[in-house]
Amino acid sequence: MSSPQVRLHQILDWDSPQQNAGLRRELAIGLLQTQASIAPKFFYDKLGSRLFEAITELPEYYPTRTEAAIFIEHLPAIRQALGADFTLIDLGCGNCGKAGRLFHAGVLPSRYVAVDISVEFMRDSLQQLKRELPAIEMIGIGLDFTHELELPDDLPLERRMFFYPGSSIGNFNPPEARQFLRRLADQADASGGLLIGVDLIKETALLDAAYDDALGVTAAFNRNLLRHVNARLDADFDISDWQHVAFYNAVDARIEMYLEARRALTASWPDVAGRNLRQFAAGERIHTENSHKYSPEGFTALLASAGFGDIRMWTDPRKWFALFFARPAK
């Protein structure tokens, strides 16, 4: 018996010389800045996606289980907000687990669109979900949504529900987040909406532990970034030279994550003119991620300024995490 089919749009293709050149250029520019940086989207090769799954199981990593509890507690209201006959567009779907749990709880879209930069991991996860729920039309889109969010031309405009859980919005700084949310509002009509998970400001010790767990899984996730960069850029980072650093910056309300050089070293990678070299002093850092935290009022204001209205929020009893639903104000 043949397996039920998902439709795949692979817009991001690392093997396409043109795209590959663009992503390599982006990596090289970040590495050559005074404060070297690598964007968090490069965490997600197949191993990076698996390491993130492991992070969500850690006792210190409260966001996933707190968000899941909010879904269970407020399922009737979430079901009512989403309505019927909608398209769920899952931004950074990962293993499609959160959408799958909604579907198995009876919140069923007519169409599910899974979007992720980690194309192979998304495809395998989506195919598994399709086997479990063959009646739902499923489309997978492999793309980098920081550049564009190109949806299939035949995707109906009505009842597009963007789903952005897990507090991934925190990877953008607030002005970038506003711009990203505005692009979502522009791609739906008044019958559509946005269901988004947001991590709330809380005690520093809880935040620090969530991003620097005792087992070292987050450290492995962070350091795996260099393995991915080596593969994509033909660079020669030695992972054993780098250690994980993560802390809460209360002034800017964000977790900052870095890789710190254990000794003075030089990293290199090829370019048209020969090899690019970047020297790092002992203790020098590469910035790898920010994760901005919000107050309920702050995120409500951000949604409103990005063109959303009819804003609802559900939270957990400790107010650690919030789930917002909002509609484009048209």
Task: Specify the 3-state DSSP secondary structure of 278.
Answer: strand
**Contact status: 98 vs ligand SAM (CB under 6 A):** yes
**Contact status: 307 vs ligand SAM (CB under 6 A):** no
Angle in degrees, CA 248, 249, 251, rounded to 5: 145
Q: Which is nearer to ligand SAM, 51 or 201 (CB)?
A: 51
Among 88, 102, 117, 181, interactor with ligand SAM by CB under 6 A: 117
Choose the binding region for ligand SAM from 91-99, 125-133, 215-223, 320-328 (rule: CB under 6 A): 91-99
Please choose, from the candidates 40, 35, 39, the residue with its C-alpha nearest in 3D space to the C-alpha of residue 281.
35
Q: Which is nearer to ligand SAM, 165 or 328 (CB)?
A: 165
Residues 67 and 62: their CA atoms lie apart, in Å, by 8
Smallest distance, Å, CB 67 to ligand SAM? 8
Listed in sequence order, the DSSP H helices in 189-234 are: 204-210, 217-233
Query: Quick one: 205 exposed, middle or buried, by C-beta within 10 A (0-12, 13-18, 19+)?
Result: exposed
**Contact status: 165 vs ligand SAM (CB under 6 A):** yes
289: its two tokens: 């991620």
Please choose, from the candidates 60, 250, 290, the residue with its C-alpha nearest in 3D space to the C-alpha of residue 170.
290
Smallest distance, Å, CB 165 to ligand SAM? 4
Choose the binding region for ligand SAM from 131-139, 161-169, 237-245, 266-274 (rule: CB under 6 A): 161-169
Please choose, from the candidates 168, 225, 218, 212, the residue with its C-alpha nearest in 3D space to the C-alpha of residue 38.
225
**Contact status: 166 vs ligand SAM (CB under 6 A):** yes
Rounded to the nearest 5 percent, the helix, strand and coil shares of the chain are 40, 25, 35
Task: Specify the 3-state DSSP secondary structure of 125.
Answer: helix
Q: Which is nearer to ligand SAM, 165 or 174 (CB)?
A: 165
Among 37, 52, 107, 113, interactor with ligand SAM by CB under 6 A: 52
Smallest distance, Å, CB 121 to ligand SAM? 7
Among 19, 127, 128, 146, interactor with ligand SAM by CB under 6 A: 146
Smallest distance, Å, CB 82 to ligand SAM? 17
Angle in degrees, CA 305, 323, 187, rounded to 5: 50
Q: Would you say 6 and 247 are in contact if contact means Cβ atoms under 8 Å apart?
A: no
**Contact status: 328 vs ligand SAM (CB under 6 A):** no
Please choose, from the candidates 303, 321, 324, 304, the residue with its C-alpha nearest in 3D space to the C-alpha of residue 313.
324
**Contact status: 224 vs ligand SAM (CB under 6 A):** no
Q: Which is nearer to ligand SAM, 167 or 300 (CB)?
A: 167
Residues 198 and 201: their CA atoms lie apart, in Å, by 10
CA distances from 328 to 84, 145, 183, 315 (A): 18, 19, 10, 21
Choose the binding region for ligand SAM from 90-98, 127-135, 261-269, 284-292 (rule: CB under 6 A): 90-98
Among 168, 187, 191, 276, interactor with ligand SAM by CB under 6 A: 168
Smallest distance, Å, CB 96 to ligand SAM? 8
Among 41, 160, 292, 327, interactor with ligand SAM by CB under 6 A: 41
Smallest distance, Å, CB 41 to ligand SAM? 4
The residue ranges that bind ligand SAM (CB under 6 A) are 41, 44, 49, 52, 56, 92-94, 98, 116-118, 144-146, 165-166, 168
